Amino acid sequence: MSDNNSNPNSRRDFLKIGSLIGIGAVAAGAAGYAGFAAQDGKEGHAGEAETALSDSEKKIKVLTEDGQLAEIKASELSPVQKDEYTSALQEQGREGIPGKHWVMVIDLARCRNVRACMASCQNAHHLREEQHHINVLRMQDAEHTEPYFMPKPCFHCDNPPCTKVCPVDATFKRQDGIVLIDNERCIGCRFCIAACPYSARVFNWFEPKNEEEDQDLLYNVELNVPQKKGTISKCLFSADRLREGKLPYCVSACPNGVYYFGDLNEDAVTNGTSGETTRFSELIRKNAGYTLLPELGTKPNVYYLPPKNRMFPFEFNGKTTLEDEHHG
Amino acid sequence: MSESLSKEQAKKLVDKYAEDAIRPMKNHKGFLPWMGFLGLVMVVFGYAYYIQLTEGLGVTAMRDYVSWGLYISNFVFFVAVSLVGMVVSAVLGLAGQKWVKPITRVSEIIALGFVMVAGLVIITDMGRPDRFLNLFMYGRLQSPIVWDVTVITTYVAISTLLFILPLIPDLAFIKKKMKDMPVWQYQLYNILSLGWIGTPEQYKILHKSIRMLSIIIIPVAMAIHTVTSWLFASTLRIGWDTTIFGPYFVAGAFVAGTAAVIIVMYILRSNYKLQDYFTDYHFDMMGKLLVLVSLLYAYFNINEFLVPAYKMKTGEAVHLHTLFQGVYAGLFWVVQIIGMGLPIFFMIFKHWRKPNNLTFIAVIVLIGAFLKRYIIVVPTLLHPHLPIQNVPEEFHHYFPTWIEMAVTAGAFAMSLTIITILLKIFPVIPMWELAEEKGITEEFEKYD
C-alpha cells in the first residue's frame, strides 16, 4: 500500500490496464497491484491470517485472468512489470474485438460544423491543435451545387492502402476492421501518409502536446496515447472506448445526431446523440448512403448519408458560399 | 591494334600507362583544400542533422500534407545517378563497345559513391532513425520500402564486386611498381589483388567473372530504380498513380548518370592530364549517348504529361495546372526546356560535344535532373483527393528549410568524398584492359 502511495503512476497504469482483464472494479481498492500475478497455493491458508491484522497480513480480493474471484495476502502480491502491461495491451490491441465489424454512418444533412467531435477527439488523443484525427471539411461537389460540411475520420478501409505499404507492420488491420498504429514500432517513414488517399493521417513533427505530462503513461495502442515524436497518429475508431462497450469520442460528443456507430455483423448502428439504434442496411438504403471515392477500391467502413433535407443552411465565416479555397 | 608492337614500343606504352594511372593517386595540391571543403560541409551537415534529431522532423518544411520533400527527392536522385555504373560497364560493355573501356572504372566509382549514400539519405528522412533495425526485425514483404532496401543492398554488393574484380591485375601491377607507398596501402593492394600472377588461366577466370557480373547487374540496376519509382506509383495519389513510372525513372536515371560521368571525366582529364584516355572522341561518344538517353527520357515525359493533359480529369487537371502555369510552372519549364530540350538540340551538333561544351551541358542536365526529382515528389503531395483545411497556412506550401539544404549538401559531400577517396586509392585507368586491347598483355604482366 505504502508503495502505491509513493508512486501515483503505478495507480494510473493500473487503472488503464483495468479494462484489459476486468480486474478494475474489484481490485481498485487494493490498487497498484495486478491481481493476475497472484501465486496459487497460498490461498488455502486464508483462515490463519484473520487474527493478525497487520498491513502485511491483510487479505485482499483479486480477480484472476480467467475471471475467478480470489483472496490473497497483501504481502504476497507482486506488481506486474510495466513491460508486461504494455505487451498485454499490444497483444489485445493487435487482435481486436472478436466477432465485430465496426462501421460508422455520417449524416451530412445534420452537420453544422459545431466541431464538438474534433474537440473531444483531440482531447482524448492528446493531439496538437493542427492535428486532426477527424476533420470537418467544407465540400462542394460541382460549381453550382450547394456546399456542405463533411466530417472526415479514418475510413478503416477493408482494402487499406496504408497498411500495405508499412515496412514494419506498425500500422495494421485487425479482425474487427479497425486500422491501428503501433507508435512504439513506427519508424516514421511516412509512406502511409503518402498512400492514404483520404489524408487521414497525421505525423508528430515535434514533441507531442502533452509530452511531459504523458511520459509516464503506459502506452495504449488502442488510444495511441502517449503520442510519440517522429511517429504517425490517426483516427482509431476509439478502439479503447469500444472495448468498454461505449461509443467513440466523436460520436458521443456530437450535439446534432450526425453520427451513427455500430456493428456491421449485427446490422445495427446507434446514433451518438439520441442513443437510438437502427438497422444499418435500412438506414443506408433509405437514404442512399455512399462511401467516399469508391473508385479507388479502398472499401471504406465509413458511410455518408447525402446532405439532403438539411437541418441547417451552410454558413462558414458568415458566408453561405464556399470561397475559392486551396483545393489541396 | 592488330599490328603487333615491337618490344620496345610495348614497354614504352606500359610505362606510360603506369605513369598516367599513378599520377592521380599521388599528392595533388588541390587535394587537401578539396577534402577540407567537403569536411566542412559535412560538419555543417552534422550540426543540422543533430538539430533535426533533437527537435524532430518539424525543423524541416515538411508537414502532414507535403510529408515527403527534399530528402525523398534526394534519395531518388542518388539512386538515379548510381545507375550509370550498370549502363556503361554492363550494357555498353556487353554490346561490344570497346571505346567505353577507359570510362568503366570512373562510372563504377560514381555508382558506388552515390548508391552508398542513397542508403544514408533515406535515413535522414526517417522520423525515428533509432528504430532503423525494425526494418530487419519486423520487415514486411508487402512494402515497397523493404523491396528497395533489398535491391539497393544487392546493388551495392554487385557494384562493389564489379569495381574490385577488374582492379585485380592493376593492383598487382601497382604493388610492384609503386615503391614509396605506405604499408597499409601495400597491404590493401596485396589483399585485393588476390595473389594475381597473370597466368592465362587467371585471365580466363577474370574475364568470365566480370562477364557474369555484368549480366547480373543489369536486372538489379533496373530493379533499384524501378522499385524506387514504385514508392510513388504504388500509391493512389494524382500524379504518381501511373503505370509508366518504372521505365520513366530508369530513363531519367540514364540521363543523370551519363551527365555525372561526363563531368567527372572532364575533371580527371584536366586535373591529371589524362587526355590520352578521356579523349575528344570519348566526349563525343558520351555526348551521343546523352542525346540518346535524353531522347528516350523526353519520350516518356511526353507520355507522362501530354496524355493526362489531353483528358484533363478533375484531379489531374489541378495537378497539371500547377505544373504548367501555377506555382511550379517556372521550375517545371526550366527543367523541361533548359534541362532536357535544349541540351538535346545542342548536342546534336558536333561542336557541342567537344569536352568543354559537353561538360557545360552535362552540368546543366545534372542540375535539371536533380530539380526534376523535386518536381515529381512535391507538387503531387500538395494536391490530395480531399481539400486541405483547418490547418495552419504553412501546411499549404513547401519550401525546404536551411536544415534540409544543409543535410542535402552533406549528402553530396559524402558522395564526393567517397568518389575522391576511391580515385585516390585506386588507379582510374584500367591498365590491363588497355594493354589487352593493344595485344601487349604479356609485356604488362612481365613489366618490372
Read off the pLDDT of residues B183-234 as tens digits, 9 standing for 90 and up: 888 889 889 989 888 888 999 999 999 999 999 999 999 999 999 999 999 9
Best residue of B389, B391, B398, B403 to probe chain A, by most A CBs closer than 10 Å:
B389
CB–CB contact A199 B64 (8 Å) = yes
Look at residues A295, A318, A308, A292 and name the one whose alpha carbon lies nearest to residue A110: A308
Give residue B3's pLDDT: 54
Best residue of B54, B57, B396 to probe chain A, by most A CBs closer than 10 Å:
B57
- CA of B386: which chain A residue's CA is closest? A198
Check if A204 contacts B (Cβ < 8 Å).
Answer: yes
Does position B236 have pLDDT exceeding 90, yes or no?
A: yes
Check if A328 contacts B (Cβ < 8 Å).
Answer: yes
Strands A69-73 and A59-63: antiparallel
The separation between CA A142 and the C-alpha centre of its own chain, rounded to angstroms, equals 34
CB–CB contact B57 A199 (8 Å) = no
CB–CB contact A187 B135 (8 Å) = yes
Interface of B with A in 374-413 (CB under 8 A): 381-392, 395-396
CB–CB contact A197 B392 (8 Å) = no
Chain B nearest C-alpha distance from A43 (Å)? 42
What pLDDT digit, counting tens, does each position of A223-263 carry?
Answer: 999 999 999 999 999 999 999 999 999 999 999 999 999 99
- CA of A166: which chain B residue's CA is closest? B143
Give residue B296's pLDDT: 96
Average pLDDT for B264-284: 91
Does position B430 have pLDDT exceeding 60, yes or no?
A: yes
Kindly state the DSSP code that residue B3 receives in the 8-state scheme.
S
What pLDDT digit, counting tens, does each position of B97-125 carry?
Answer: 888 888 999 999 999 999 999 989 999 99
- Max CA separation in chain A (angstroms): 84
- CA of A189: which chain B residue's CA is closest? B126
Average pLDDT for B167-172: 91
pLDDT band, residue B399 (cuts 50/70/90): very high
Check if A166 contacts B (Cβ < 8 Å).
Answer: yes
Cβ pair A237, A103 in contact under 8 A:
no
CB-based burial, B324-351: b 16+ in 10 Å, e otherwise: eeeebeebbeebbeebbbebbebbeeee
Cβ pair A127, A134 in contact under 8 A:
no
CB–CB contact B131 A193 (8 Å) = no
Chain B nearest C-alpha distance from A174 (Å)? 16
CB–CB contact B127 A131 (8 Å) = no
User: Would you kindly state where each structural domain of chain A is located, as residue ranges?
Assistant: 2-80, 97-305
What is the rounded (10 degree) CA torsion for B77, A203, B396, A290? 110
Mention every residue, 6+ apart, whose C-beta is less than 8 A from residue B213: B158, B161, B162, B165
**Alpha carbon distance B145, B228 (integer Å):** 8
Question: In the Cβ-directed half-sphere of A259, how many Cα atoms lie within 13 Å?
Answer: 28
Chain B nearest C-alpha distance from A130 (Å)? 5
CB–CB contact A229 B63 (8 Å) = no
**Alpha carbon distance B144, B138 (integer Å):** 14
CB–CB contact B131 A186 (8 Å) = yes
Q: Which three cell numbers stand for residue B347?
A: 548536342
Q: Which of B134, B385, B392 sits opposite A197 (nearest CB)?
A: B385
Q: Which segments of B135-192 are extended strands (E)?
A: none
Average pLDDT, chain B: 91
Chain A environment of B390 (Cβ under 8 Å): 118, 132, 135-137
Q: Which three cell numbers stand for residue A12?
A: 494510473
CB–CB contact B387 A325 (8 Å) = yes
Give residue A324's pLDDT: 58
CB–CB contact A191 B145 (8 Å) = yes
The separation between CA B216 and the C-alpha centre of its own chain, rounded to angstroms, equals 18
Q: Supply the CATH classification number for the domain A97-305.
A: 3.30.70.20
Q: Which of A75-84, A306-315, B73-82, B269-278 has the largest mean confidence? A: B73-82
Sign of torsion, CA B69 B119 B260 B97?
Answer: negative
Interface of B with A in 121-160 (CB under 8 A): 125-129, 131-132, 134-135, 137-140, 142-146, 149
**Alpha carbon distance B98, B68 (integer Å):** 42
- CA of B142: which chain A residue's CA is closest? A164
- CA of B388: which chain A residue's CA is closest? A328
CB–CB contact A203 B138 (8 Å) = no
Chain A environment of B143 (Cβ under 8 Å): 164-167, 191
Give residue B89's pLDDT: 78
Check if B271 contacts A (Cβ < 8 Å).
Answer: no
**Alpha carbon distance A177, A242 (integer Å):** 12
CB–CB contact A131 B64 (8 Å) = yes
**Alpha carbon distance B260, B250 (integer Å):** 15
Give residue A47's pLDDT: 43
- CA of A296: which chain B residue's CA is closest? B236
Looking at B273-341, list the stretches that DSSP marks H as alpha helix, in order from N- to C-terminal side.
Answer: 280-311, 314-324, 329-333
Residue with cell string 465565416? A317
Chain A nearest C-alpha distance from B131 (Å)? 6
Chain B environment of A193 (Cβ under 8 Å): 64, 67
Residue with cell string 551527365? B259
Considering only the top CATH level, what class is B20-446?
mainly alpha
What is the rounded (10 degree) CA torsion for A207, A224, B145, B249? -70
The separation between CA A11 and the C-alpha centre of its own chain, rounded to angstroms, equals 21
DSSP for A266-280?
Answer: TTEEEETTT--EEEH
Question: In the Cβ-directed half-sphere of B225, how many Cα atoms lie within 13 Å?
Answer: 36
Mention every residue, 6+ apart, whose C-beta is less than 8 A from residue B164: B192
Check if A285 contacts B (Cβ < 8 Å).
Answer: no
Interface of B with A in 299-328 (CB under 8 A): 318
Q: Which segments of B81-233 are extended strands (E)?
A: none
Chain A environment of B389 (Cβ under 8 Å): 135, 137-138, 325
CB–CB contact A190 B55 (8 Å) = no
Give residue B167's pLDDT: 92
pLDDT band, residue B35 (cuts 50/70/90): very high
**Alpha carbon distance B375, B335 (integer Å):** 9
Upstream peptide bond of A226 is cis (omega within 30 degrees of 0): yes
Look at residues B175, B170, B178, B179 and name the one whose alpha carbon lies nearest to residue B198: B170
Q: Which of B127, B138, B318 sits opposite A327 (nearest CB)?
A: B318
**Alpha carbon distance B38, B46 (integer Å):** 12
Using DSSP, state whether A55 is helix, strand or coil: helix
- CA of B235: which chain A residue's CA is closest? A195
How open is the CA angle B65-B69-B74, to the nearest 5 degrees? 160
CB atoms < 10 A from the CB of B363, how many? Answer: 15
**Alpha carbon distance B439, B424 (integer Å):** 28
- CA of A233: which chain B residue's CA is closest? B64
CB contacts < 8 A (A, B) = 155
Low-confidence ranges of chain A (pLDDT < 70): 1-57, 65-66, 80, 323-328
Residue with cell string 535524353? B294
Give residue A54's pLDDT: 56
- CA of B391: which chain A residue's CA is closest? A130
What pLDDT digit, counting tens, does each position of B289-330 carry?
Answer: 999 999 999 999 999 999 999 999 988 999 999 999 999 999
Give residue A28's pLDDT: 39
Q: Which three cell numbers stand for residue B81?
A: 545517378
